[in-house]
Amino acid sequence: MGEEDNFWASGVTGPCGPCSEIYYDFHPERGYSNVDLGDDTRFIEFYNLVFMQYNRKDDGSLEPLKQKNIDTGMGLERVARILQKVPNNYETDLMFPIIEKASKLAKVSYANADDDTKTNLKIIGDHMRAVVFLISDGVFPSNIGRGYVVRRLIRRVVRIGRLLGIKGDGDQNPEGAFSPVLAESVIQLSAQIDPHVKTRTPRILEELEREELRFVQTLERGEKLLDEFLSNALSFSPENGDRPQLSGKDAFLLYDTYGFPIEITTEVAEERGVSVDMNGFDVEMEKQRQQSQAAHNVVKLSVGSDSELASNIPDTEFLGYETLFASATIKGLLVDGNSVQEVSEGKDVEIMLNRTPFYAESGGQIGDNGFLYSFEDEDGTQKTIVKITDVQKCFGNVFVHKGMIKEGKIAVGLEVDAAVNAKLRQGAKVHHTATHLLQAALKSVIGQEISQAGSLVAFDRLRFDFNFHRPLLEHELIVIEELINGWVADATHLQTKVMALTDAKRAGAIAMFGEKYGEQVCHFSVTFLCTFDFHCFLLKKNCLLPMIKNDTTHKYTHFRFIYMLR
């Protein structure tokens, strides 16, 4: 059928090749004159094969791939539709039981429903199946990343369910949640596919119930105001005959003040024949972002645009795991973002060294403080002192030492002695280790599914952000505190090694999702000794550690936590 139909490419450039699609014809009796494969009431493509043999270059020309391959894929739902002889993928036994359950809760007959109702029931079935498997795999509702995808899917199910008239959980509880009832159908269907889903049923149902009931409150707050906004938009007839529009300012008010998701606003508006000014919404969002930034004292590096400097400065050799003092050579200087060769006393300066014991801010830990010294006279008279107040990374792995020249002057090429403030570094070490101990305790006490969402490791304090569906209970806080203090009091041995990223993961190191690691990482491991007496204490608090065996014949149990530092 020619290149338009039988050639596949991954993009404008890159691997590509001829392809062959296999279609099933539901109505061969209609003949093949003027056949249209795009007619999805008659044909369905259920198998595709791409013979990947070319690489398309920037000029559009094709060159043979060194390693040719066949990319093949078959649609499970589509094959089920063909074999079960049903009109669409949603009515196969992979999904239709979920739709039937939703129809029962909505008190409607799917067979006799109009097209709009059927579409809404299909959305519910599709989204519920996705949500159950996502939560089972550890993706929980949140405001960021994958978690926000789950939250959006649940919210759409809830809103459409309410639109269909579903009230409560269908079990004489009008204030209950219906999504857990639908999830039970998904879990039953998954028994022969993924047995882990069934074992995680309590957590799945708990997450869905909490998310739905919380969103219903948001809906009730925002729906009334949205209806008022939409009525005003419809009552105003644009002079040029354009479609009525909800202003970006009103949409942002719903989002920012009432917690009403913008995707729900646009969906409801579309149903009423009203568009949403998304450009105006984005403007309001940007205003808020700038106001939020202005409210914080943000210190930014001023070296990002100096491409010439970036090409001339090599990566900094970091020595800070072995020593807090080292000699080094100044390889670059910046004043107010401009590259200079020399800087005199009293000036703020950014200094790049060939090697350094100073830790640059990363992984939540702030940069080291300290001093740079130079001794130029033969009698050893000290000529230059630079006070370092922050260290950041730029240009990949170049350490930028921010500070002020207290005495003398410095120049590119000058040899200096770099000394880290040992007391402050010790404070950072203590709080960094405590951060990981805290995470280990949290995973032990409230569950392995908790995930780090950010942290601050300072000289005088730490902050640990994590995702969990509820506040910690008082007895859990007590257990966590006792557990960490016990490890500290026992002077638990900590081993630190620098190794390849793959080796660290093979050893069991925890890599934080969303973090970027280099090829070499700093890995530390701790083996904790837990007495049976403390085990009994945890049991009394109804908080059994999953890693500790309930075995009264053993007085001690060892378990190990391994973490990875950037």
274 neighbors 243 (Cβ within 8 angstroms): yes
Rounded-to-integer distance, Cα 8 and Cα 1, Å: 13
Identify which of 147, 254, 258, 247 has the alpha carbon closest to the alpha carbon of residue 207. Answer: 147
CA–CA separation, 237 and 297 (whole Å): 46
SS3 assignment, position 392: strand
Q: Across residues 4-29, what is the average pLDDT? A: 91
Q: How many Å apart are CA 240 and CA 132, to the nearest integer? A: 47
Average pLDDT over residues 47-55: 94
Question: 352 with 389: CB under 8 angstroms?
Answer: no
For 318-371, the pLDDT digits (tens) are 999 899 999 999 999 999 888 899 999 999 999 999 999 999 998 889 999 999
Mean pLDDT lowest among 141-155, 295-309, 333-347, 498-512: 295-309
Cα 118 from Cα 251, distance rounded (Å): 29
Place of tokens 């990875």: 564
pLDDT tens digits, 192-215: 888 889 989 998 999 999 999 988
Neighbours of 110 (CB within 10 A): 18
Q: What is the DSSP letter of 550?
A: -
Per-residue pLDDT, 301:
41
DSSP, collapsed to helix, strand or coil, labels residue 521 as strand
- pLDDT value of residue 419: 95
Q: What is the pLDDT of residues 139-148, one digit of tens each?
A: 888 877 888 8
Alpha helices in 190-306, H assignment, sequence order: 195-199, 201-235, 248-258, 262-271, 278-294
Give the total residue count for the chain: 566
Q: Is the whole model's pTM more than 0.85, yes or no?
A: no
Angstrom distance (rounded) from CA 530 to CA 542? 17
Tell me the pLDDT band of 378, cut-offs 50, 70 and 90. Answer: low
User: Is residue 374 within 8 Å of residue 408, measured between CB atoms?
Assistant: yes
Q: How far is the C-alpha of 139 from the C-alpha of 126, rounded, in Å?
A: 17
Strand-by-strand arrangement of the 14-25 sheet: 7-9, 14-25, 43-56, 62-74
Choose between 238 and 49: higher pLDDT.
Answer: 49
Which runs of E-coded beta strand occur in 424-505?
451-457, 462-467, 494-500
556 pLDDT more than 80: no
Give the pLDDT score at 399.
94
How many CB atoms neighbour CB 450 within 10 A? 16
Mean pLDDT for the stretch of residues 376-392: 80
The predicted-structure confidence for 389-447, as pLDDT tens digits, reads as follows 999 998 778 999 999 999 999 999 999 999 999 999 999 999 998 998 999 999 889 88
More confident residue, 303 or 4: 4
